[in-house]
Amino acid sequence: MGAVASRRHPAVDSQPRRPTTRLGAFVLALLLTAVASLAWAQTEVFEPEVFSIGNELRCPTCVSESVSESSSAIAREMRVIIQDQLDEGRTRREILAFFQDRYGDWILLNPPARGILLIVWILPVLAVLVGAVLLVRLVRRWRRAADEVPEIDPADRERVRAALAGTAPAASTASDPATEPASTSRA
């Protein structure tokens, strides 16, 4: 009976598990999963052609970013699709046509010059041409205006010269003020 008395009951001998031990194990598992998934995500290696094609495609969820530049989930998926299609032997044009069929012309960063998009290509060129024509016409008009000598009434000329000389204008225009010496004495 001595052997039986020395044995203790398992419920009395063991201590209950603490919630912190369970929480610690959960956090450790979560961290290991995060590190493993991060390492897996960074091992994704694409051919340079994937980024070259991605530079021609607009990210559907980002503003002013190409598929190559974006870090959104849809852009990552599109890069994977591009890589898969390259692995299948498709050409650049076929891959761009695939995305164009799925999303429309909008997905291309350089849309084709057709239909309503033709206006986008023509308007800037047209604006530059109209601006150049207007600028040439203005410069010609300014040069003609600068070359013309305006006609001045002799009475007006006399008044200006008298005002510059500091004397009162003469009542008659009998003598040419240009030939008279300017008065040096002032009252």
Residue 58 is part of a domain; what is its CATH number?
1.10.8.640
> What is the predicted pLDDT for the residue at 23?
80
Q: Is the dihedral of CA 74, 80, 86, 89 positive or negative?
A: negative
* Residue 72 belongs to some domain of the structure: yes
Cα distances (Å, whole numbers) of residue 146 to 7, 139, 143, 157: 121, 11, 5, 20
Residue 141 CB burial class (10 angstroms; 0-12, 13-18, ≥19): exposed
Cα distances (Å, whole numbers) of residue 86 to 46, 99, 100, 109, 124: 10, 14, 16, 20, 36
Contact status, residue 105 vs residue 63, Cβ threshold 8 Å: no
DSSP 8-state secondary structure symbol assigned to residue 118: H
> What is the predicted pLDDT for the residue at 6?
54
Q: Distance from CA of residue 113 to its chain's centroid?
A: 21
* Residue 94 belongs to some domain of the structure: yes
Residues of the chain with pLDDT under 70: 1-19, 38-44, 168-187
* Residue 74 belongs to some domain of the structure: yes
The pTM for the full model equals 0.44
Question: In terms of domains, do 50 and 88 share one?
Answer: yes
